[in-house]
Amino acid sequence: MKFAGKVAVITGSGRRHGLGEAIARRLSEEGATVVIADIGGSRDSATPDAMIGAEAEMRDVADSMPGAASTFCCDVRDPDQVQALAAHAVSAHGGLDIWVNNAGIGYIMKPLGEVSPSDWRAVIDVNLTGAWFGLQAAAEVMIAQGRGGRIINIASQAAKSGFMHAQAYTASKHGLVGLVRSASIELGAHGITVNNVCPNHVTTGLGKWQNEHFAAVQGISVEQYLKNMAARIPLGRPGLPEDTANAVAFLCSPEASYITGESMNVSGGEEPH
């Protein structure tokens, strides 16, 4: 029970079978109290109901945790809501030790000429600016507590390599690399580590949409698309939610106390740098 007595916030964790749920469960299994945070409902065209964690689903996720859990609705594009999320962790559970920026938009993918200014802003606002707001809010609480902490962004293989139809997504994830490199320098003196986890493709609900989208773009079946994907991964399969969750758990553990400013690949060998 490495995380007994620890409190962890995981944004974008309100969907069943998603990365956020897997991360929350892995930390909960090791004793952490977890806050299941998600947007709670559609706010605009960039946050359709089919792609976000609604309040009922958030409660289902929290109820499925092996340990103590609460829920909190938060649009990570709003710094006041992110600050309120950090305050909830403290008021409801007594502190904040782990913050995982997992919320992201990976479903606005179009050819370069079709990307609108609002598309671009939506992806950057959630994936990069939202992570910045989370890092800032978590660091403020952790510094005040004086006992260190762990801040982790769920980046992507797209933090290292480019992909078609993913200009904004790739730019946002590359931005997280620079963010942790700078933030880790400032927060190291406070015993706070800041890292990225960079998974390759994971077939969550979002991943299923991506499979269908890119298979259609290439004019092949989803089955063939997945076979092609597996063939280029040295370990022979796409990622699982648990692969990412295990990496997060490691970076939150005492064994990783001397690791900061890193962007760890979890790609089965597909991403070599």
- Helix, strand or coil, per DSSP, at residue 7: strand
Respond yes or no: is residue 225 known to be catalytic.
no
Dist. CA 176–CA 130, nearest whole Å? 11
CA dihedral 250, 256, 262, 266 (to 10 degrees): -20
Does residue 200 contact residue 238 with C-beta atoms inside 8 Å?
A: yes
User: What is the C-alpha to C-alpha distance for residues 169 and 167, in angstroms, rounded to an integer?
Assistant: 6
What are the φ/ψ torsions at residue 263 (nearest 5 degrees)? Answer: -125, 95
Helix and strand element counts for the chain (H, E): 9, 7
Catalytic residues: 169
